[in-house]
Amino acid sequence: MKRPPPRTLRGQLTTGLVTLLALACLTVGITTTLALRGFLLGRLDEQLRASGGRFAASLEHETEPDADNRPDTRGQADATFGARLLDGAVTRAAVVDGAADRPVRLTSRDRLALVNVPMDGNGHSIRLSSLGTYRVTAVQGDDQDSLITGLPLRPVEETVHRLEAVEAVVFGTALLVTGVAGALWVRVSLHPLHRVTARAAEVAGLPLASGEIAMPAPLPDTDPRTEVGRVGTALNDMLGHVEKALTSRQASEQRLRHFAADASHELRTPVANIRGHAELALRHHGPVPAEVRRALERVQGESQRMSRLVDDLLLLVRLDAGRPLAHEAVDLTLLILDATDDARAAGPGHHWLLDLPEEPVTVTGDSHRLQQAIGNLLANARTHTPPGTDVSITLTTHGSGVHVSVSDNGPGIPDEIRPEVFGRFVRADHARSRTNGSTGLGLAIVHAVITAHGGTATVTSRRGRTTFRLTLPH
């Protein structure tokens, strides 16, 4: 399996540094090796030209020579090769062995290689079966023959291989040391960038969507002369703008909460007075015109709806302000049974179905607020679905969570309001919501209550199937 390349900037810089050094070492190694080999071959060719084919010329006698006619090995290096060719055939070949010469047995391939050596006085490399690789040169003899003199290439090859081994050790050590030192250097150089990313990750983990947020301190030592310093400066500026925006938003929300709380408190008394006077007028024993009675009934109904709206607003204000809820053991099974009984009484035309576990399920929380949240879900299903709709309430436990699901097979939630269904004053049907007494805050209260208990509220909807799902910690 091919290993993927490093993705971090530090890994890429270190890898790039080592790769460039490796390419430089490879270039230097190849260049020095070729230069040394060429230099040694040049020296070898000079030695061959200096010999003048003297040893090869002394091999012209094919019979065993006497002492005066022995091949001339004087001044010849050990392992010097000589051969005499006449009419395209090798007549004799020998090699210097100490102070004497030693005949060389040639194969047909060796003879062909010797015949093909150009007679240009330059050096050429050939391989002889019994001797190995030789550097040879061919010159014209006095008897119209061809005289070939050669020196072994083994010393040259050994010297070149020794240089290659030394370069491999030196360059390998240099790459290892450079890789370690480069990684440390890159790590130190990118430390300011690490601070920037750590600070950005810290800000990304903050719950910026709600509540008062304490922004982290700005990054120190942001040098605008460096790229990392300019990034740090830009991040500090951005954090400053975000902090100002959050502070402004928090102040605006705080003013809105105070206004809602103050307005709700101020409205409770006059709404209660209007409601009381309407009820008192309706209990009058004397004759009351039908139009007046109808008007008084409307005043009474609207005052009751206004009272519920004020109560809901006050509850949301308390939840937004983080008012502590009660922490007691709540039997969700019993709570759902009671809420379903209330919903069945309010909506006898609906089919209320229960799916509860055999054993009671308990959670820690505020029983009154949880009952209100579940009751709001059931009221929402009853209000926004026609009579005859099946409404199913399911209670399950899974791991460390408790799940309450309220499903119906009604018309579903319109796509345009589904994303903000838990918002405040969100209504699917404005006209019907006002006639049935809905305040548009029921699902907002559900979401706020469940969130205050550390849980979540979600919804999925399509035509013929809508499910609200509440998750609470067990």
- Do 374 and 306 contact (CB within 8 A), yes or no? no
Q: Strand pairing partners for 85?
A: 90, 146
The amino acid present at 306, given as its one-letter code, is M
425-466 per-position pLDDT tens digit: 776 654 444 445 556 788 888 898 898 888 999 999 988 899
Closest listed residue to residue 47, CA positions, set 85, 96, 101, 87: 96
When pLDDT is averaged across residues 41-68 and rounded to a whole number, the result is 72
Residue 64 has pLDDT above 50, yes or no: no
Residue 209 has pLDDT above 80, yes or no: no
Closest listed residue to residue 306, CA positions, set 438, 432, 445, 428: 438
Q: Strand pairing partners for 147?
A: 84, 139
Which tokens belong to 52?
Answer: 């003048």
- Distance from C-alpha of 178 to C-alpha of 51, rounded to nearest angstrom: 49
The amino acid present at 406, given as its one-letter code, is V
Give helix 191-204 / helix 154-189 axis angle, nearest 10°. Answer: 50
Residues 6+ apart with CB under 8 A from 313: 260, 263, 264, 441
CA distances (Å), origin 178, targets 6, 73, 181, 189, 407: 18, 54, 5, 15, 66
Burial 296-315 (b: 16+ CB within 10 A, else e): beebbebbebbbebbebbbb
Radius of gyration (Cα) for the chain, nearest Å? 50
Parse the chain into domains and list their residue ranges. 8-51+156-191, 52-152, 224-323, 328-473
Q: How confident is the model at residue 66 (pLDDT cuts 50, 70, 90)?
A: very low
Higher pLDDT, 309 or 38: 38
**Number of continuous H segments (helices) and E segments (strands) in the chain:** 11, 13
Closest listed residue to residue 135, CA positions, set 43, 56, 54: 43
CATH of domain 328-473: 3.30.565.10
3-state secondary structure of 412: coil
Q: How confident is the model at residue 161 (pLDDT cuts 50, 70, 90)?
A: very high
3-state secondary structure of 473: strand
User: Is 328-473 in the same CATH topology as 224-323?
Assistant: no
| CATH number among 3.60.21, 3.40.1350, 3.20.14, 3.30.450, domain 52-152 | 3.30.450
Average of per-residue pLDDT values in the chain? 82
Assigned fold of 224-323? Helix Hairpins (1.10.287)
Full DSSP string of 226-262: SHHHHHHHHHHHHHHHHHHHHHHHHHHHHHHHHHHHH
When pLDDT is averaged across residues 297-306 and rounded to a whole number, the result is 77
- Distance from C-alpha of 313 to C-alpha of 327, rounded to nearest angstrom: 23
* Confidence at residue 438, expressed as pLDDT on a 0 to 100 scale: 59
